[in-house]
Chains A and B, each alone.
Chain A
Amino acid sequence: MSEARIDVQVEHKHAPPPSEKKHPNTCPKCGSHYRDDELEAALWVCGHCGHHFPMRARARIDWYTDAGSFVEEAADVRSEDPLDFFDLRPYAERLSEAELNTGLSEAALIGQATIDGHPVELSVMDFTFMGGSMGSAVGEKFSRACDSAIERGVPLISVTSSGGARMQEGILSLMQLPKTVCAVEDLHDAHIPMITVMAHPTTAGVLASFASLGDVTIAEPGALIAFTGPRVVQQTTREKLPDDFGLAEQNLRFGHVDAIVPRPAQREHLSRLLRLFA
């Protein structure tokens, strides 16, 4: 019994129980509360403690790119339901619901834009669409972003935020790992730079494929970057987890990312990298 109590304590440090669910505009770290317009003006970063709230894909694209420069590509690529997958609810129903709730057709947006005048290709994931999970449509969109970058000879900026492969597509979602890896290899062969921004969370299948293959990789403060998340590691191995297990800061210390860049500084950071690779 005493062991079980210890487990629960370890768990609480990383994942507060769902019963304590707070308003989405309340900072989970320091409890500060913000109006929508305040959060938006602060790029969804807590002005008090620096906590990074999730940022939607379109808002991020607006923040990174020159006004009006973004042209979306492959907007018509959508998921199908090859397995007729049914868990507690049908996959098709989950997809329609995600579409309605997010205003997106999939968990990734791709397109061309300029950043401080530098033409780039963008692939940006949105965690609110089924946990940013990667199924066939996300794999295809990312691959097309690689092709488009090669075709136009411009760098690819890839922003990742994903719980991993989309289980509802079974083995086909696992095959999106080698698929996106092959797309990145084509990019490398064409000497096109890829800059990866890892947002919270970048885990499992996405970390184990294209997210880890950037020429330069930056992470957002506090982002969870792990192949296996803390809850599963704790449950399977019963190991005592370090306080910052799997977080961006630990990944920097162990050499898995090049830098941690707070959101307000990211645009300038990307711009500098683009000047270096130009």
Chain B
Amino acid sequence: MTVIGEPISVIAAFGGYPTKMRPVRFRWSGRVFEIEDITYHWVSKEGTRVLYHFSVTVGATLYEIVFDSQRLLWSLEKIET
């Protein structure tokens, strides 16, 4: 996967299962991406920071996006085209 590490804007829905938070679409480099599927999710910690990771697909492309719950920031971490 290609490492990106850039901030993105995300619209997310809260509530539901198995993830309590579901990213729905994100904006990156001026383009809007509609998330079709959340294929996996996991949580990691960096000190007291809790990071919510989502593997999501848009078309044939796989993205890993991350929500930093302490800084309230979303980022696009990786892409696999």
Query: Are the chains A and B members of one assembly?
Result: no
Chain A interfacial positions (CB closer than 8 Å to B): none
